[in-house]
Structure 1
Amino acid sequence: MFSHLSVGSNDIARSKAFYDALFTACGGNPAFVDAKGRLVYVHKEAIFLVTRPIDGEAATHANGGTIGLAMDSPEQADAWHAAGVAAGGTAIEDPPGWRDSSNGRLYLAYLRDPDGNKLCALYREVK
């Protein structure tokens, strides 16, 4: 359903250090920088972009918004979370772990990036 996701940043170099650590911890590659100065991450046919806002205003995070990223295992979610905290992210919500939902058990880990964007690593229990 989604072709790409994008978040704003006020410091692209800081964001590159953070997201490179985050995505390489779960099997992705570091970003390439496109002609417009945006960070572009491509993994498993998905695209994630980090950009300065086009309108020239300061980047802000979406209150109530969360970007969920699929993980291959709980261990991968833990590695993602640890890499994010080590690279300047902030652990939020409950600690990484299993949650029961109406759609089965989920392993979740939450972070805010250095610009305040809310991210979630999610692994769905396979039955």
Structure 2
Amino acid sequence: MFSHIMVGANDIEASKAFYDATMAVLGAKPGMIDPKGRVVYMHDGALFMVTKPIDGAPACSANGGTIGFTMASPEQADAWHAAGVAAGGTACEDPPGVRESPFGKLYLAYLRDPAGNKLCGMHRIG
């Protein structure tokens, strides 16, 4: 359904360090900087990019927005969360763990990146 996801950041170096750490847990290579100064991650046919806003205004996170990353296991979600916190991210929501939802049991881990974008590592249980 999606071709790519791009988030804004004011400090590209801090965001690259954060995403290099969290994407490595998923098996992705470190991000590369394109000619426009954007950080680009390519993994499993998907693109995830970080950029300074084109309009020159400061980057801000979406109010109510969350970007979800598929995790292979609860342990991978925990490692992803720990890598993100160690690389300048902030834990948010409840601690990583199982949540009941209309979609069944989910193991969820939430972070905010250095620019405040809300991320979720999700593993479907059963």
TM-score interval w.r.t. the shorter chain?
A: over 0.9
Partner of 2:71: 71
Partner of 1:18: 18
5+ residue gaps, structure 2, are none
Separation in structure 1 between the aligned mates of residue 20 and residue 59 of structure 2, nearest angstrom: 19
Counterpart of 1:14 in structure 2: which amino acid? A
Count the aligned residue pairs.
Answer: 126
Runs of 4+ in 1 over 4 A off after TM superposition: none
5+ residue gaps, structure 1, are none
Partner of 2:90: 90
Separation in structure 2 between the aligned mates of residue 107 and residue 29 of structure 1, nearest angstrom: 25
Task: Please give the secondary structure, in 2, of the residue aligned with 1:123.
Answer: strand
Deviation for aligned residue 1:64? 0.4
Determine whether 1:125 maps to 2:125: yes
Deviation for aligned residue 1:37? 0.7
- Aligned ranges 1:1-127 → 2 under 5 Å: 1-126=1-126
In the superposition, the TM-score normalised over structure 2's length comes to 0.98
Deviation for aligned residue 1:26? 2.1
* Percent identity for Structure 1 against Structure 2: 67
Deviation for aligned residue 1:45? 0.9
Counterpart of 1:21 in structure 2: which amino acid? A
